[in-house]
């Protein structure tokens, strides 16, 4: 009898291990797309990232995001469900796994679901904790980490005393709604990360000191008038992978963003830029007045020659222009300062070096600086025409 019981427990243990092993481990959070971009030349502004390994280990492997359908969640820690009774699944399959509480804190004001590192009193770590509601933010906090949770709306109350907030990471939540009053509470905000949420429009009344705004991978199809008004310090605007179409971008949409360095509008449904303005009127364009603009991404849209004013990218500040996966049939005009040009996967049939060679009378015949050119996925075949290689002497990498 004892032997049988022993055998059974060994078998049970074996099965348990099997279950644990076959649980799919949580996907590691991918580096944001924009992290691979050239960083904004403004070192030393980033807060110290929380050192890995300081958080208490989260219990067991979790599935992220929770798969729909009947699930075993939650296996309440401390209440072993073993042996698996063949009874019914738990009656109430909740939408979300339970909030994971932080360790007891040195700070009396540390929210229970967060971790407050005694050596970084200005940081509040509440990421990866299944949080549904923003906790009350203590006034000492400058850096707020709330990414990878289930927050669905932002209300003003938790931010009432958070006047010192500089950096807020709310990426990968389910935010649909943001109260207008929220940003009035955080006048010092510099970095706002809201990528991978469910926003349908650009939030209104953003703090005027904002330097980085990441809104990629939402469902944004609307930019309210004046959304970017007065954002004179904004250096990075990331709107890639949304649902923006021509009517959302007027000729004044970006007008006030005079310090903008990086603009990412890739993976939207733009056909024309800007809408409603005849292509011949080259003075009126998106980028007029953006005198620091260096990185522009418009890949994966539906831009055609008709929709792109001939000189819209002829900006002396532009260093990197990405127009891959559009419907262009000719190479747009660009400036002698441009270094990287991505035109792959368009409908370009020919390329005339004489026509595209940037003449820079102002810069005393500056040699065009183009170094990297992608032309693959067009109707072109090598070699590159002689007049192109004659013009771009610095070109050392061409994909055709
Ligand atoms: C904000 O701070 C004041 C004064 O310290 C305090 O009385 C109040 O409860 C705080 N509000 C919140 C929402 O924490
Ligand atoms: C492009 O910009 C340069 C200044 O860098 C200017 O001289 C030139 O006329 C512009 N070309 C067109 C077609 O606007
Ligand atoms: C390229 O353009 C120039 C000027 O428009 C023209 O004279 C030349 O014939 C063109 N070259 C080719 C190969 O079409």
pLDDT of residue 147: 97
Inside any domain, residue 335:
no
Inside any domain, residue 182:
yes
**Under-70 pLDDT residues of the chain:** 1-95, 274-286, 360-365
State if residue 3 touches ligand 2 by the CB under 6 angstroms criterion. Answer: no
Inside any domain, residue 181:
yes
pLDDT of residue 364: 62
pLDDT digits (tens, 9 = 90+) for 45-89: 444 444 433 333 333 333 333 333 333 333 333 333 444 444 455
Ligand 2 nearest atom to the CA of residue 310, by list position: 13
State if residue 161 touches ligand 1 by the CB under 6 angstroms criterion. Answer: yes
Ligand 1 nearest atom to the CA of residue 158, by list position: 13
pLDDT of residue 290: 87
pLDDT of residue 101: 81
The number of domains in the chain is: 1
Ligand 3 nearest atom to the CA of residue 352, by list position: 1
Residue 398's H or E segment, with its range, is strand 397-399
Inside any domain, residue 98:
no
For 175, the domain range is 107-198
Query: Alpha-carbon distance 56 to 147, whole Å?
Result: 17
pLDDT of residue 193: 98
Ligand 2 centroid–CA 314 distance in Å is: 6
pLDDT of residue 255: 84
Q: What distances in angstroms separate CA 108 from CA 50, 113, 124, 130, 143, one per listed residue?
A: 20, 13, 13, 22, 18
pLDDT of residue 94: 58
Inside any domain, residue 22:
no
Global model pTM greater than 0.85: no
pLDDT of residue 162: 94
User: Is the distance from CB of 288 to CB of 312 less than 8 angstroms?
Assistant: no
User: What percentage of the chain's residues is helix, strand, coil (to nearest 5)?
Assistant: 10, 10, 75
Position of tokens 């002396």?
Answer: 316
Residue 117 belongs to a domain with what CATH number? 3.80.10.10
Query: Alpha-carbon distance 315 to 322, whole Å?
Result: 14
User: Is the distance from CB of 125 to CB of 149 less than 8 angstroms?
Assistant: no
Ligand 3 centroid–CA 386 distance in Å is: 12
Ligand 2 centroid–CA 394 distance in Å is: 20
Residue nearest to atom 10 of ligand 2 (CA): 314
Inside any domain, residue 146:
yes
Inside any domain, residue 350:
no
Inside any domain, residue 205:
no
- Closest by CA to 205, choosing from 228, 173, 171, 175, is 228
């Amino acid at each position: 009898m004892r032997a049988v019981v022993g055998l059974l427990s060994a078998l049970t243990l074996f099965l348990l291990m099997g279950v644990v092993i076959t649980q799919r481990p949580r996907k590691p959070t991918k580096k944001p797309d924009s992290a691979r971009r050239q960083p904004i030349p403004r070192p030393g502004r980033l807060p110290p990232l929380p050192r890995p390994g300081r958080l208490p280990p989260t219990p067991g492997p979790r599935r992220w995001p929770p798969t729909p359908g009947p699930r075993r969640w939650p296996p309440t820690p401390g209440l072993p469900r073993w042996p698996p009774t063949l009874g019914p699944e738990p009656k109430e399959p909740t939408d979300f796994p339970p909030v994971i509480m932080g360790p007891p804190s040195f700070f009396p004001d540390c929210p229970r679901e967060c971790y407050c590192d005694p050596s970084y009193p200005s940081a509040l770590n509440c990421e990866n904790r299944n949080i549904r509601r923003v906790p009350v933010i203590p006034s000492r906090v400058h850096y707020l980490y709330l990414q990878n949770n289930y927050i669905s709306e932002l209300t003003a109350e938790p931010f009432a005393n958070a006047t010192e907030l500089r950096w807020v990471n709310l990426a990968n939540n389910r935010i649909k709604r943001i109260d207008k009053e929220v940003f009035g509470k955080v006048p010092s905000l510099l970095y706002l990360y809201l990528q991978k949420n469910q926003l349908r429009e650009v939030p209104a009344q953003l703090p005027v000191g904002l330097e980085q705004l990441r809104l990629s991978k939402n469902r944004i199809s609307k930019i309210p008038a004046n959304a970017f008004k007065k954002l004179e310090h904004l250096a990075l605007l990331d709107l890639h992978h949304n649902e923006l179409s021509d009517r959302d971008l007027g000729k004044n949409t970006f007008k006030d963003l005079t310090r903008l360095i990086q603009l990412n509008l890739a993976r939207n449904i733009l056909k024309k830029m800007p809408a409603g303005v005849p292509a011949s009127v080259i003075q009126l364009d998106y980028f007029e007045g953006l005198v620091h603009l260096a990185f522009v991404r418009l890949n994966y849209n539906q831009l055609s020659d008709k929709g792109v004013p001939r000189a819209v990218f002829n900006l002396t500040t532009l260093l990197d222009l990405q127009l891959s996966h559009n419907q262009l049939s000719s190479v747009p005009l660009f400036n002698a300062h441009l270094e990287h040009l991505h035109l792959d996967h368009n409908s370009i049939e020919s390329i005339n070096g004489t026509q595209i060679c940037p003449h820079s009378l102002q810069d005393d015949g500056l040699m065009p600086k183009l170094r990297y050119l992608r032309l693959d996925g067009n109707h072109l075949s090598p070699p590159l025409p002689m007049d192109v290689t004659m013009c771009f002497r610095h070109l050392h990498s061409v994909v055709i």
